[in-house]
Amino acid sequence: MINQNYHQPAFPELAVEGLNIRPDGIYVDATVGSATHSIHILNKLDSGRLFGFDQDEDVIANIPDNKLFKFVHGNFRYMSNYLGFYCVEQVDGIIADLGISSHHLDVPERGFSYRFDSELDMRMNTKADKNAARFINDASEEKLTEIFRIYGELKDAHRLAKKIVSKRRNGSISTTFQLIDVISDCIPKVNENKYLSKVFQAIRIEVNDEIESLKELLNQTANLIRKCGRLVIISYHSAEDRLVKNFIKSGNFGGTINKDFYGNVLAPFVQISRGAIIPSEGEILQNSRIRSARLRIAERK
């Protein structure tokens, strides 16, 4: 049974349809979360297998009770190694729903949300060394500026970083509300929540090394997915979507098109969806957290 309280993903059926599932195929759900996508995949399998990855221990409560499902408690950036352990060299499709679950935002003690006063944590893997508080208190002004500009897409990134560095000289910043108080002069009166969402998003992406993890996943897919297999990615941030778009188009993250002697593009995938698929107005009304979702589907050449 799907735990809708944990997370309601974007495109729960359309994304799985994009995998073009064979009943006897081997598939990977790189981000189990609420297990919504996993359950939809399992419903289409007969003798196939599904490997589900997630580094968050809270997900274990959502694991489907199905003999065709194997849960891997780990980061998808190590997918090839984990699958090799289970003697799987290639699969028929991989789906990844990037970002965080509603669960992360709604559980105060995880420290992902500006709505609650809690410890600055933000770790998807709660056993990881670096949490948000450590990053905020240790990072240089230049590093803070960089992540707020790139991951938060904030125009006043340098001012924001300067505030944090100045305030932490008088004592460490350890809670979400302390952080909000420190940057209060930077928060606009209009769209306050949107601004704070971007600040917390930037910190979360850095703490969990999400961009590098995505790059490592994408680089593995060319060898992991067999010919005519599918790659389905749902992203919620422009930096993530740009990486996915460029990789599908060119096989690299810069989007540089390389061709062989005959003019054929040297990229392992061909795009199936025409550009990114975005949620409809009706879907956004039902679940406002998916408004920035972008779905891309590709097939292995």
Q: Tell me the one-letter amino acid at 105.
A: L
Query: What is residue 106's predicted lDDT score, i.e. its pLDDT?
Result: 84
**In this predicted model, what pLDDT tens digit does every residue of 175-231 receive, in sequence order?**
999 999 999 999 998 899 999 999 999 999 999 999 999 999 999 999 999 999 999
Query: What is residue 179's predicted lDDT score, i.e. its pLDDT?
Result: 97
pLDDT less than 50: residues of the chain: none
- What domains are there in the chain, each with its CATH number? 14-102+212-300 (3.40.50.150), 129-207 (1.10.150.170)
Query: What is residue 6's predicted lDDT score, i.e. its pLDDT?
Result: 67
CA atoms within 13 A on the CB side of 71: 20
Cα→Cα distances 203→115, 120, 169, Å = 15, 10, 20
Query: What is residue 264's predicted lDDT score, i.e. its pLDDT?
Result: 84
**Dist CA 27 CA 221 (whole Å):** 12
- Three-class HEC string of 97-156: ECCCCHHHHHCHHHCCCCCCCCECCCCCCCCCCCCHHHHHHHCCHHHHHHHHHHCCCCCC
